[in-house]
Amino acid sequence: MYYRVLVIALTIVIQFLLELTAGRIFVAPSLLTLVLVYLSENFEKKWAIDGAFWSGFVLDLLLHQPPGSSSLALLVGLFAARSFGALSSGEGRGYLLSMTAIAVLVSDTLFIVLASRPIGSGFNHVLLLVIPRMILTVVIGVLFLSVTSWIIEIKSRKVTGKLHVQG
């Protein structure tokens, strides 16, 4: 469990650095949402709530955003993704990637609305940047899930000496 907390802490730092660099140029991928969806689907469901709240709060403090805006946006985005997950009967990479895309789309849209001053003044061309951010996050998600399945395959070879084929 402690390594999952470490993964979220490392993701917060990477997300912060991405927002400062790539976010200033064009868009930064939402790695935090990707990791939270992955952890909440593959491990305990608490990662969707606790992880979203605390990581969003820390990210708000680091980026000088209104406290709680990222937390609320992540919580609503993960709730929308879980609602999709409850309606669908999918599993696997496509399922996780579609849940990630929904979570990024909802959470980023809500964040823009909440973080803009006055609230709601963010309904302009800035909302169009949500789509490339979602696409970039899904592309990174494909790479992330490919690497994790590759690592699992290598570990299963070491244990059994045979190739483990995932279905």
The pLDDT tens digits of the residues spanning 47-60 come to: 778 888 999 999 99
Write down the mean pLDDT value for the chain. Answer: 86
100 within domain boundaries = yes
pLDDT mean over 66-90: 88
Residue 167 lies in a domain: no
Instruction: Give the whole-angstrom CA distance, residue 151 versus residue 145.
Output: 10
Has residue 153 been placed in a domain? yes
Please give the C-alpha separations between residue 25 and each of 3, 31, 57, 88, 147, in angstroms, as whole numbers.
32, 17, 24, 36, 27
Q: What is the pTM of this model?
A: 0.83
Domain extent at residue 107: 2-160
Residue 42 lies in a domain: yes
What percentage of the chain carries pLDDT values higher than 70?
92
Q: Is the pLDDT of residue 125 over 80?
A: no
Dihedral, 139, 141, 144, 150 alpha carbons, nearest 10: -90
Reply yes or no on whether the pLDDT at 160 is more than 70: no
∠ Cα 35 38 43 (to 5°): 120
Task: Enumerate residues 6+ apart whose C-beta is below 8 A from 64.
Answer: none
Identify whether 166 is part of a domain.
no
Q: Is residue 51 a part of any domain in this protein?
A: yes
Is the pLDDT reported for residue 133 higher than 70? Answer: yes
Rounded Cα distance, 92 and 140, in Å = 16
Q: Is the pLDDT of residue 163 over 60?
A: no
Confidence class of residue 158 from pLDDT cuts 50, 70 and 90?
Answer: low
Whether 165 is in a domain gets the answer no
Please check whether residue 139 lies inside any domain of the structure: yes
Q: 80 with 102: CB under 8 angstroms?
A: yes
Tokens of 72: 């609320």
Number of domains in the chain: 1
